[in-house]
Amino acid sequence: TTIEETLVLVKPDGVARGLTGEILRRIEAKGYSLVDLRLVEADRDLLAQHYAEHEGKPFFEPLIEFMESGPSVAIRLAGNRVIEGFRSLAGTTDPTTAAPGTIRGDLGRDWGLKVQQNLVHGSDSPESAARELALWFA
Ligand code: DAT
Ligand code: MG
């Protein structure tokens, strides 16, 4: 067993569409534990740090603007191999091609959808999880 913690975000599109409960339902049904949870109006400084690896890419600015457009739900989530496990629940980045059965594949709305509007974020490694949890749960 490898008990880990990860940062999950229900992004502004998920909160605005009223999908927070459905996303939490899937997370809890899988057996992961909610350790902490808060509604956050992220500012540019937090978001630029959170997405520092993408600075300079063409989608960086639209991504930050989208993430500033409304509150996100930040979740400190614990469980066995939860970092990899949550990313599997979430599905691949683009909701158009994310597998059915995943959060992005089932709930991504494909009408004028932008790739950044993909409902959730999950840390991609133990190093990212530690860094991101410190940012969002400072
Ligand atoms: P993930 O969220 O699956 O870890 P990522 O870290 O590569 O994906 O990118 C961060 C976010 O940026 C992603 O959730 C949506 C957005 N994004 C990624 N690639 C994109 C692209 N090619 N065009 C527009 N937005 C993109
Ligand atoms: Mg990522």
* Residues β-bridged to residue 65: none
User: Which residue type occupies 71?
Assistant: P
Q: In this structure, what token pair is assigned to residue 40?
A: 């956050």
Considering every ligand atom shown, identify the ligand nearest to the alpha carbon of residue 98 and give its number. Answer: 1
Best of 59, 65, 88, 103 to mutate for ligand 1, by most ligand atoms within 8 A of CB?
59
Average pLDDT, the chain: 96
What positions carry a catalytic annotation? 121
* Cβ–Cβ under 8 Å, residues 26 and 91: no
Provide mean pLDDT across the span 74-96: 97
Considering every ligand atom shown, identify the ligand nearest to the alpha carbon of residue 116 and give its number. Answer: 1
The atom of ligand 1 lying closest to the CA of 124 is: 4
Measured in angstroms, how far is the CA atom of residue 138 from the centroid of ligand 1?
24
Give the model's pLDDT for residue 107. Answer: 96
User: Which residue type occupies 3?
Assistant: I
- Which residue carries 């991101």 as its tokens? 132
CA distance 63 to 86: 21
Measuring CA to CA, which residue among 38, 49, 35 is closest to residue 5?
Answer: 35
Query: Annotated binding residue at 114?
Result: no
ipTM: 0.97
User: Which residue type occupies 123?
Assistant: S
Tell me how far the alpha carbon of residue 91 is from its chain's centroid: 11
The pLDDT tens digits of the residues spanning 92-120 come to 999 999 999 999 999 997 777 788 899 99
pLDDT-above-70 percentage for the chain:
100
Query: Annotated binding residue at 11?
Result: yes
